[in-house]
């Protein structure tokens, strides 16, 4: 270092030269400022993209909203040839197929999560994790292909059997009454259930793993069975986090496009009968957008905007619930 | 991690004193857990079985390289243009999303920390992972395709938007695992912050980052919805991402699945097998990378 | 840089009676020394002149009223009970505290007469000159060679043979060369704790700093590894100025030339502990004839 070469200088000069040395040059700090700027810009990109999505979709769909007004989401009269765009039937289709998916996926997902955390021998944990990863890795279009080529034709006779046997029973007929088609709300819900099981499972598992050991031991020390321990300590402790996981699954199911587009039946109608043909917002966009123009196209982009809004709403609530759960964990 | 509780260690006398009702409930719950795992295996097994069985009937070098028949009903291979398209489009999306995503994560973990703006960005990137892929496709359609027309690059843009938040989230989690000791050691050597990040923090977490990015690539490679209106359709290979329409395996599966003739159905299954192989290789490789990395840390 | 001749003089001086030392250090333990910090002004060059230092974390005052002069080629030890601010003061000396949000430094620290906290001072330049060894060994998850070569590479040394020389010299100085010369490419994570800490010292001195700050460098090590590090410090003293924070009074007595004793004062409300400097003097005097009752209580084990 140059400290020793400056020995001959007076102490003031020495101080001045050291001051100059440790101050460095403006150039030296430039790398830091540049890098930080780059990183910040990349972070801002996320906000920019989200804002642009909302902005561009609003701009492009404006003609449809202008023409249709509030009936865009309250009317089910969708007839592009007569410039009528009431999207309620698609919204209904999205909601119904997602609900069916949840009803099937939630018990299975939580079951798998509890199996791996509470029941499974150690050597089974990794293989099960791998199976869940694989389930998540299969592209949705492959589920769709399997759904339309294998699942739908094979389910049709089963649906018909159910429909014939309980369709006339009051109450049950409301859900299972005819018509019964292979491509239907039910088949779409099943395919969606396969697709959202991995996300609900892995998030629930993470949440359940945070339950402190003392909580489990406290219950077991009181003579609880495994099930009583799960109900008494694990479920109350992780309820918030699991709710968040389920809502994220719901968001995923509502936004899923391709598999639903292939198996839902592409016939928009508002019905509670789950074996009937239906259509969803995402499926309608996927199937019609290529041929659409003019107000029809802006109506489809409007559907996209509604879908965007609803999924964002569901996701934000899910994140809030999980966030609150995290904070509770930190406090305790 | 807490050790798994072993109920078999409960003394037998205690277990046998339980009422039948409690025993039954416990047995029912245990059955529920076991059945759940089996139920999840069924669709996985069935889908894999059909993809391998129907796909392998057409799969081969010819299938991977030959052009797509112009007549959609025609029998026989191939999917060459779609294989090329998937590789090019996914590759281009990776080149865009991975560096930006890693930089974004660096901002969140190394600069922003717990600040209000960083929290907003973090929250929004989590929200962005939930944006439906079809909405990303519409977005790129309105801001890019309407002006510049359909091309492989437009598809790559849509996939990159989808990958970006996934890369940010997984990378930030990995950066958070890097002990602060290492950063301090580097600062104490007179290393500037950006060089500390590049020479110490990133190398220390590169395994986890790589595996997270590979999973994001795998997810993007299988996506269909963002490509539907952005890349268009071609039957012969288009190696130019920036000029003219392109095609991809996922888009071809979607088109062919809807045509009820043997030729296109076979091609759909063959394309599904190709796509699944690609995605599985990426997923398994990502697992391998992350387990290797975990061993090195220990 | 200080040449080898002086190092020879220095190591020779270890064998000589204290008052026969060359003028590089001040006479230690000369009888009847009045012993207040002012008397420390001696022929040795002052590296750090700390005047009325106070450190705040947000509104919380962690340390106040610290005034110390630290001389070149000496080992200065900071001792005191937990929470007395000795590490905080140490981290002020190379501006590591800048990295803690809400941390604010008042008072003056001059480094060779230059204001360390001057408005234009670049903390990175400061840390190149004033290195630091941490409490827990923190090697990078790289090879042994890459750990040591890390700093030189930063300052632009690219030439392979030059790097090899630097690595060998640093490892030799850190008394580690013989143990690792055959496995320089092996991961540093596979070394023992003591070896890791010596590697961290080698990594620090490879950037050729003037001062090495050590924050309880032996607290995570066993007695044998500790003894090796202490020997090492004696050797390094010829070339570097060393400031060490330690919990271990024997260690301070064994290795240091001067000792600063800190303690924590509790405010009247009883909810805040602020570190203060009690006494700063020759190590021998602190341990044999301290000027303050609190120091005596501490070094004789009656407190802390």
Per-residue pLDDT tens over the stretch A182-204: 999 999 999 999 999 999 999 99
Measure CB to CB from residue C128 to each of B182, B190, B296 and give the nearest one. Answer: B190
Q: What is the mean pLDDT of residues A147-175?
A: 90
Choose from A4, A10, A22 for mutation: most chain C CBs within 10 A. A22
How deeply is A80 buried, as exposed, middle or buried, from its count of CB atoms within 10 A (0-12, 13-18, 19+)? middle
Q: Residue A288: which of C160, B228, B115, C215 has the closest Cα?
A: B228
The answer on pLDDT for C217 being more than 80 is: yes
> pLDDT (tens digit, 9 = 90+) per residue, C146-188?
999 988 888 788 899 999 999 999 999 898 999 999 999 998 8
Q: What is the 3-state secondary structure (H, E, C) of chain C?
A: CCCHHHHHHHHHHCCCCHHHCCCCCCCCCCCCCCCCHHHHCCCCCEEEEEEEEEEEECCEEEEEEEEEEEECCCEEEEECCCCCCHHHHHHHCCCHHHHCCCEEEEEEEEECCEECCCCCCCHHHHHHHEEEECCCCCCCCCEHHHHHHHHHHHCCCCCHHHHHHHHHHHHHHCCCHHHHCCCCCCEHHHCCHHHHHHHHHHHHHCCCCCEEEEECCCCCCCHHHHHHHHHHHHHHCCCCEEEEECCCHHHHHHHCCEEEEEEEEECCCCCCEEEEEEEEEEHHHHHHCCCCHHHHHHHCCCCC
Q: Mean of the pLDDT values across residues A277-303?
A: 92
Give the Cα separation of C171 and A146 in Å (integer): 63
Distance CA B173, CA C204 (A): 30
Give yes or no for residue A253 having a pLDDT over 70. Answer: yes
What tens digit of pLDDT does each residue of B200-222 get? 999 989 989 999 999 999 999 99
ipTM (interface predicted TM): 0.89
CA C237 to chain centre: 10
Evaluate if residue B13 carries a pLDDT over 60.
no
- Pair B110, B187: CB distance under 8 Å: no
pLDDT value for B144: 94
Closest residue in B to A143 (Cα) is: B47
Residue A12 sits at the chain C interface (C-beta within 8 Å): yes
Residue A26: predicted pLDDT: 63
Residue C268, classified by CB atoms within 10 Å of its CB into exposed (0-12), middle (13-18) or buried (19+), is exposed
Is C41 a residue whose pLDDT tops 70?
no
CA distances from A176 to A154, A159, A179, A184, C76 (A): 17, 8, 9, 12, 85
Q: Looking at residue A279, what is its pLDDT?
A: 93
Single pTM value for the model? 0.82
Q: Enumerate residues 6+ apart whose C-beta is below 8 A from B253.
A: A141, A142, A144, A145, B224, B268, B271, B272, B275
Residues of B in contact with C125 (CB under 8 A): 190
Tell me phi and psi for residue A217, to 5 degrees. -65, -35
- Check whether B160 has a pLDDT greater than 90: yes
Mean pLDDT computed over A16-25: 80
**pLDDT at A223 > cutoff 90:** no
Q: What is the pLDDT of residue C75?
A: 95
CA distance B173 to chain A (A): 14
- pLDDT averaged over chain C? 83
Residue C154 forms contact with A (CB below 8 Å): no
- Neighbours, chain B (3 or more CB pairs < 8 A): A, C
Over residues A57-82, the pLDDT tens digits come to 999 999 999 988 899 989 988 988 88
> CA–CA separation, C300 vs A286, rounded Å?
82
Q: What is the DSSP letter of B199?
A: I
pLDDT at C303: 58
pLDDT more than 90, % of chain A = 55
Q: Peptide bond before B78: cis, by omega within 30 degrees of 0?
A: yes
pLDDT in tens, C105-119: 999 999 998 899 988
- Kind of pairing between the strands at C211-215 and C75-79: unpaired
Interface test with A, best of C46, C114, C120, C124 (most A CBs within 10 A): C114
> A31 versus B156: which is more confidently predicted?
B156
Residues 156-215 on C with a CB inside 8 Å of A are 208-210
Residues of chain C with C-beta less than 8 angstroms from the C-beta of A24: 121-122, 124-125
B228-252 pLDDT per residue, tens:
989 998 888 899 999 999 999 999 9
User: What's the confidence (pLDDT) of residue B292?
Assistant: 77
């Amino acid at each position: 270092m140059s400290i020793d070469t400056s020995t001959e200088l007076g102490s003031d000069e020495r101080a001045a030269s050291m001051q100059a040395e440790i101050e460095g040059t403006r150039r030296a700090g430039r790398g830091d400022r540049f890098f930080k700027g780059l990183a910040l810009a990349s972070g801002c990109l996320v906000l920019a993209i989200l804002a642009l999505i909302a902005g561009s979709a609003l701009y492009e769909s404006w003609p449809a909203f202008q023409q249709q007004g509030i009936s865009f989401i309250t009317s089910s009269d969708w007839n592009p040839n007569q410039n009528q765009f009431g999207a309620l039937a698609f919204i209904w289709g999205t909601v119904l197929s997602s609900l069916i998916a949840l009803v099937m996926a939630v018990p299975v997902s939580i079951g798998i999560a509890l199996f791996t955390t509470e029941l499974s021998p150690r050597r089974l944990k990794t293989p099960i994790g791998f199976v869940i990863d694989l389930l998540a890795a299969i592209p949705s279009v492959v589920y769709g292909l399997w759904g339309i080529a294998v699942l739908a034709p094979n389910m049709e006779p089963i649906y018909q059997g159910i429909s014939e046997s309980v369709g006339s029973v009051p109450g049950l007929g409301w859900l299972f009454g005819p018509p019964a088609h292979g491509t239907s709300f039910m088949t779409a819900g099943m395919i969606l259930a396969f697709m959202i099981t991995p996300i609900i499972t892995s998030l629930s598992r993470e949440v359940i793993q945070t339950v402190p050991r003392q909580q489990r031991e406290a219950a077991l020390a009181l003579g609880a069975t495994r099930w009583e321990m799960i109900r008494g300590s694990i479920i109350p402790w992780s309820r918030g986090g699991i709710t968040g996981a389920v809502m994220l699954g719901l968001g995923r199911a509502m936004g899923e496009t391709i598999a639903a587009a292939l198996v839902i039946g592409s016939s928009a109608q508002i019905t509670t009968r789950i074996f009937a043909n239906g259509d969803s917002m995402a499926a309608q966009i996927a199937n019609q957008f290529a041929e659409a123009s003019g107000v029809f196209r802006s109506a489809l982009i409007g559907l996209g905007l509604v879908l965007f809004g609803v999924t964002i709403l569901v996701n934000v609530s899910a994140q809030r619930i999980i966030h609150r759960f995290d904070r509770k964990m930190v406090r305790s | 991690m807490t050790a798994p509780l072993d109920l078999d260690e409960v003394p037998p006398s205690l277990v046998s004193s339980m009422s039948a009702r409690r025993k039954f409930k416990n047995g029912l719950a245990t059955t529920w857990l076991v059945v759940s795992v089996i139920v999840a295996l069924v669709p996985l097994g069935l889908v894999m079985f059909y993809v391998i069985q129907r796909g392998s009937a057409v799969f081969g070098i010819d299938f991977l390289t030959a052009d797509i028949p112009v007549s959609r009903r025609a029998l026989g291979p191939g999917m060459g243009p779609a294989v090329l398209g998937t590789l090019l489009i996914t590759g281009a999306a990776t080149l865009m999303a991975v560096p930006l995503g890693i930089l974004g994560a660096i901002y969140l973990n190394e600069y922003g920390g717990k600040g209000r703006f960083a929290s907003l960005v973090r929250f929004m990137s989590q929200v962005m992972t939930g944006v439906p892929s079809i909405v990303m496709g519409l977005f790129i359609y309105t801001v890019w395709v309407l002006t510049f027309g359909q091309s492989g690059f437009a598809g790559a843009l849509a996939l990159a938007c989808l990958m970006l938040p996934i890369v940010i989230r997984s990378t930030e989690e990995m950066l958070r695992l890097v002990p602060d000791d290492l950063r301090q050691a580097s600062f104490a050597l007179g290393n500037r912050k950006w060089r500390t990040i590049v020479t110490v923090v990133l190398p220390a977490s590169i395994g986890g980052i790589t595996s997270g990015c590979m999973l994001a690539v795998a997810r993007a490679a299988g996506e269909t919805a963002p490509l539907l209106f952005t890349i268009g359709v071609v039957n012969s290979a288009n190696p130019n991402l920036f000029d003219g329409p392109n095609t991809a395996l996922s888009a071809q599966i979607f088109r062919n699945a809807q045509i009820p003739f043997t030729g296109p159905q076979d091609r759909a299954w063959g394309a599904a097998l190709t796509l699944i192989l690609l995605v599985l290789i990426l997923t398994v490789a990502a697992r391998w990378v992350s387990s290797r990395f975990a061993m090195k840390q220990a | 840089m200080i040449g080898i001749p002086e190092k020879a003089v220095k190591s020779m001086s270890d064998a000589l009676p204290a008052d026969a030392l060359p003028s590089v250090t001040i006479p230690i333990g000369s009888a009847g020394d009045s012993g207040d910090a002012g008397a420390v002004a001696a022929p040795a060059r002052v590296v750090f002149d700390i005047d009325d230092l106070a450190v705040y974390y947000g509104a919380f005052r962690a340390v106040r009223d610290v005034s110390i002069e630290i001389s070149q080629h000496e080992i200065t030890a900071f001792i005191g009970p937990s929470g007395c601010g000795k590490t905080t003061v140490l981290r002020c000396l190379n501006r590591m505290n800048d990295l803690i949000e809400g941390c604010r430094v008042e008072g003056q620290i001059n480094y060779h007469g230059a204001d360390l906290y001057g408005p234009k001072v670049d903390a990175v330049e400061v840390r190149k000159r004033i290195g630091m060894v941490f409490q827990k060994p923190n090697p990078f998850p790289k090879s042994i060679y890459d750990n040591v070569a890390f700093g030189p590479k930063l300052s632009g040394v690219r030439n392979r043979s030059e790097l090899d020389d630097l690595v060998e010299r640093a490892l030799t100085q850190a008394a580690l060369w013989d143990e690792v010369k055959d496995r320089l490419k092996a991961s540093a994570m596979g070394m023992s704790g003591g070896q890791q800490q010596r590697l961290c010292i080698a990594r620090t001195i490879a950037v050729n700093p003037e001062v090495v700050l050590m924050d309880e460098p032996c607290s995570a090590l066993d007695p044998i590894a500790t003894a090796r590090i202490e020997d090492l410090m004696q050797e390094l003293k010829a070339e570097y100025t060393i400031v060490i924070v330690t919990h271990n009074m024997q260690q301070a007595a064994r290795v240091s030339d001067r000792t600063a004793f800190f303690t924590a004062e509790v405010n009247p409300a009883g909810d805040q502990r602020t570190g203060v400097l009690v006494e700063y003097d020759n190590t021998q005097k602190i341990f044999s004839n301290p000027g303050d009752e609190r120091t005596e209580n501490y070094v004789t084990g009656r407190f802390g």
